[in-house]
Amino acid sequence: MSRLEFALDAAWEAARSTLELFRAGVNVELKNDATPVTEADRRAEELIRAAIEKRYPGETVLGEEQGLIGANDDRWVIDPIDGTKSFVAGVPLYSTLLSYEVAGEPELGIAIFPALNMAFWAERGKGAFMDGKACRVRDESVPARALIACGGHSSLVKRGRMQGVLRLSESALATRTWGDAYGHCLVAGGQIDAMIDPTVSRWDISSVSLIVREAGGVFTDFAGQPQLSDEAISVTPAFEQWVREAFQP
């Protein structure tokens, strides 16, 4: 079994475990950063960590709920439920994310949407896939036909990014808040042209950054730099300049 095959199996097992509590009135707690967490988040991360420890004992793991265990630059990165707010609201657009990084760069990335029975994955240099079929970003270059997704309004305002989204909306066909990993995967899958994400953590974007890039898309911060930081834009090459210019002072 390859590392990718293992990762897909582990991510699917964890993702399916969340369905037991989806739309089941799960108890919601608030973490120190005021973001929600549930038993489903914790259980999914524990399942992936246990699988990694059994198959690759001693490897470094970074996860949203349990933090960093290990000190190697080659590491697994877990977001057990990306979109917990969607999960607790009963909206099926949440995902389980898993990546493996080598020297700080994602080498494989997986995004499972269990309530949609949908999966995206990629390996560096081997392309991106949606439900087993190769996927590519949209081939569209006319702003009037562009479809743009973005994160929550309050985050856009706090980070000073709302004006840029409004500029894009003046020309685009539509803007929608298809947020979190779902928005980035819509870019990779060829459904939309850009995803504007004003506030992210490493576990939010490690996997989807590779999926977008391997699908032929561009994944950068708001200044157009390719490093993974605390903000992210996924965009098709044809619209990269148009989107980036919208966020310039």
* Under 8 Å between Cβ of 247 and 222: yes
* Three-state SS at 122: strand
The domain over range 3-134 is classified in CATH as 3.40.50.10860: no
Per-residue pLDDT band for 154 (boundaries 50, 70, 90) equals very high
Q: Which residue has the tokens 């504007």?
A: 196
- Per-residue pLDDT band at 141 (split at 50, 70, 90): very high
Q: pLDDT exceeding 90 applies to what percent of the chain? A: 97
The length of the chain is: 249
Note every long-range contact of 49-58, with CB atoms under 8 Å and residues 24 or more positions apart, other chains counting: 49/78, 51/6, 51/9, 51/10, 51/13, 52/10, 52/76, 55/6
Q: Where are the domains of the chain?
A: 3-134, 143-246
Task: Quickly state the pLDDT bin for 99 (edges 50, 70, 90).
Answer: very high
Q: Pull the structure tokens for residue 5.
A: 């095959």
Among candidate residues 178, 229, 230, 236, the one with its CA nearest the CA of residue 212: 236
* CATH architecture of residue range(s) 143-246: 3-Layer(aba) Sandwich (3.40)
Mean pLDDT for all residues in the chain = 97
pLDDT at 105: 97
Distance CA 173, CA 150 (A): 14
Distance CA 217, CA 93 (A): 21
Split at pLDDT 50, 70, 90, the class of 100 is very high
Q: Are residues 231 and 200 in contact, defined by beta-carbon separation less than 8 angstroms?
A: yes
What residues contact 32, with CB distance under 8 A and at least 6 apart?
none
pLDDT of 249 > 90? The answer is no
Mean pLDDT of 165-183: 97
